[in-house]
Amino acid sequence: MLGGDNAVVIALASRRLPEKQRNKAIFWGVFGAIALRVVLIFFALQLLKIPYLKIVGGVLLLWIGVKLLMPDDKGDGHQIDASTHLLGAIKTIVVADAVMSLDNVIAIAAAAKDSLVLVIFGLVVSVPIIVWGSKLVLALMDRFPIVIVGGAALLGWVAGNMMAHDVVVKDWVVANAAWLKYGAPVIGAALVVLVGKMITARAGPAPARAPVDLAVPDQKKE
């Protein structure tokens, strides 16, 4: 289940890449997701006690969700190099995974009951789930573009949930605004979709690229 978040992020970030570049993004995305879990599993309890960490992470995740909804074309009529797309996709995946792993590693540690062997086993099992899930979501996005909006909304949902459970506001939410435990994820999801759509609408349709003339010029006779 936790691998589902990572699969959606990887699929969203790599959906505009060519097939070969997609496979590279999936590989490095999965590698980064697992590596982050291995590192954070030893520091998770201490990290989650840091004030405002979840709030900052939630804001960052909201921005990533909005950014993934924005059109890729810069509107300057030039083709961006594929390697730049790949590096950008990997960077987005790693940053989003770092934010979402804060909560995920707690669940992994709890399920494994502090057994390092079970933690490693769980991480190994999650690899094919994330890889297969990423490719499945990518296939769905290619066929049904609405899935892209759903994926971005999921990131907003996770962000809202994280922010409502930050150590600074958690007790206040329970005492004064318990509805935020369920309302914050909904607000986060709606905010990502609305802001992303507004920015896309304001940007307008990307200008069409000039057609390339493939005709062979006539040679001058001597």
User: pLDDT tens digit string along 166-217?
Assistant: 888 988 988 888 898 889 999 999 999 999 888 888 876 554 444 444 444 5
Please count the CA atoms within 13 angstroms of the CA of 97 that sit on its side-chain side.
31
Please state, in angstroms and rounded to a whole number, the distance separating the CA atoms of residues 30 and 164: 28
pTM of whole model > 0.75? no
SS3 assignment, position 206:
coil
Tokens (6 digits) for 99:
């934010």
- Residue 157's pLDDT is what? 92
Q: Is the pLDDT of residue 81 over 60?
A: no
Please state, in angstroms and rounded to a whole number, the distance separating the CA atoms of residues 214 and 211: 9
Nearest CA to 5 out of 143, 126, 86 is that of 126
